[in-house]
Structure 1
Amino acid sequence: MRLFGKPKVNPNQTQETIARLRQTIEMLEKRQKFLQEKADRKEEEAKLMVSKKKKREALLCLKQRNTYQTEVNKLQGTFDTLSTQIFALENAKMNEEILNSMRSGAQHLKSLQNNLTVDKVDDILEEIQTQMEVHQEISNAISQPLGNQLEDEDELLRELAELEQEDLDAQLLKVNSPPTKEPQIKFPEVASKTKVEVSSKEEDEYRALEESLAILESTNKTCFIGHD
């Protein structure tokens, strides 16, 4: 006999209880079906007795039918009770599994965090930051050019400044120097127009000359014909 605490339930015992309840329900279903068939037959016999005008026999059949039907109804109530118990046990079993999983997860998380504290996390983060700064300093040191490269770069910068100054001086000389000769102004459109006019005049004179020669030749031919 346990004096303190609740007795621990064996998981296998729960499964065995559910199995027994299912077997009982199966047995009740078979008995219920058997009694229901007998009740239905008694009702058919009562109808037959009524058709044969056997009132007493019909009344006896109805009484037997009611007896069977009452037992069927009782079995149905028992069946419902057992089904409810199975449902409750299955839910309890599922809740137990869920609770055990949650308890196991909590214990595992606790074991993982036993070696971790806020101070330890801060120390780790500070160490990471320090290492990152050291890494950055090393990277900067490696990327710096050597001494000769620094001198060469300074010399190139001075040479570049001299070239820029020479280019600026050349541009200033171009701006300040006077023009060597007057710019020639061309009028392409006017010259073209004058050339067209001169060509048209020459063509008219040439055409007039041809017409006068044609008239002269015609006159000479007429005079020659009259002389003959």
Structure 2
Amino acid sequence: MSGWFNSAWFGGGQSRSDGPKTAILKLREQKETLEKKELYLENQIKELDDKARKNVNTNKSVAKAALVKKKQRETELETTQKHIATLETQISSIEAANINFKTLEAMNEANKAMAKISTKYQPDKIDKVIDEIQENTSAINYMSERLTEVGQQNNQIDDDELARELESMQQEELDKKMVDMVAPPIGNLNTPEKQKQPAKEEEDEEEELRKLQAEMAM
């Protein structure tokens, strides 16, 4: 937590003379020293306990001396652990106080900004700005509507002229149909049947002539 807190709340670029930062750094350094002492005392207590157990039956004086030192180390360990707990409490208190201070400081800056804005834009000024916006919006909308009307007028089609043009087109189509109904089909004059009819009549006449010649010869 120490690294996070130092970087988040105290900033790496600040001087070590800064109050909360300097205090917490010193407290942490002392806490680390006491933790090393705590580990040392725990090892000493274990070694003395093992020594007393080893000599309890063979050399009671050595075992007793080991137990005496063990009790002394246990007392020192208890005191060291209390000091560590006290340092942790102080560190937590300073951290919490600094967080509260930073929060209050941020809130104060926000309040100053809000006061500056509210001073610049009083209710009457706000109403004036809103009214101007509404007026400008109305003017733009009116201009758009008028331009649309002009465009519609330019594109307007004369219904009477359109009706006359349609009537003229209908009359032209009717005249065309009447002409087609009166005129005979041009293609019927030169059909193959008409072309073959004179040739057939000539063949019939030749046949009649041959029959007459045959009767006269008889």
TM-score normalised to structure 2 length: 0.59
2:160 is aligned with 1:158: yes
Amino acid corresponding to residue 157 of structure 1 in structure 2: D
> What SS does the corresponding residue of 2:120 show, helix, strand or coil?
coil
In 2: Cα distance, 1:30 partner to 1:145 partner: 90
Amino acid corresponding to residue 26 of structure 2 in structure 1: R
Residue 135 of structure 1 deviates from its aligned partner by 2.4
2:79 is aligned with 1:78: no
In 2: Cα distance, 1:25 partner to 1:131 partner: 69
In 2: Cα distance, 1:89 partner to 1:158 partner: 93
In 2: Cα distance, 1:59 partner to 1:118 partner: 88
Of 110, 122, 126 in structure 2, the residue corresponding to residue 105 of structure 1 is 110
Which residue in the other structure is 2:60 paired with? 55
Task: Point out the structure with max Rg over C-alpha.
Answer: 1
Amino acid corresponding to residue 24 of structure 2 in structure 1: I
**What is the number of equivalent residue pairs in this alignment?**
154
Q: What percentage of residue pairs aligned between the two structures are identical?
A: 24
Amino acid corresponding to residue 108 of structure 2 in structure 1: R
2:29 is aligned with 1:27: no
Residue 141 of structure 1 deviates from its aligned partner by 3.5
**Any stretches of 5+ residues in structure 2 without a counterpart?**
1-16, 169-218
Report which structure shows greater RCO (CA 8 Å, sep ≥6). Answer: 2
Residue 161 of structure 1 deviates from its aligned partner by 5.6
**Any stretches of 5+ residues in structure 1 without a counterpart?**
1-10, 167-228
The two structures, once aligned, show a CA RMSD in angstroms of: 3.1
Amino acid corresponding to residue 125 of structure 2 in structure 1: K
Instruction: Within 5 Å, give how 1:162-173 maps onto structure 2.
Output: none
Are residues 19 and 133 of structure 1, via their aligned partners in 2, closer, same or farther at CA, if it must alter by over 3 Å?
closer
Which residue in the other structure is 1:178 paired with? none
Amino acid corresponding to residue 31 of structure 1 in structure 2: K
Residue 146 of structure 1 deviates from its aligned partner by 10
Amino acid corresponding to residue 14 of structure 1 in structure 2: P
In 2: Cα distance, 1:49 partner to 1:159 partner: 132
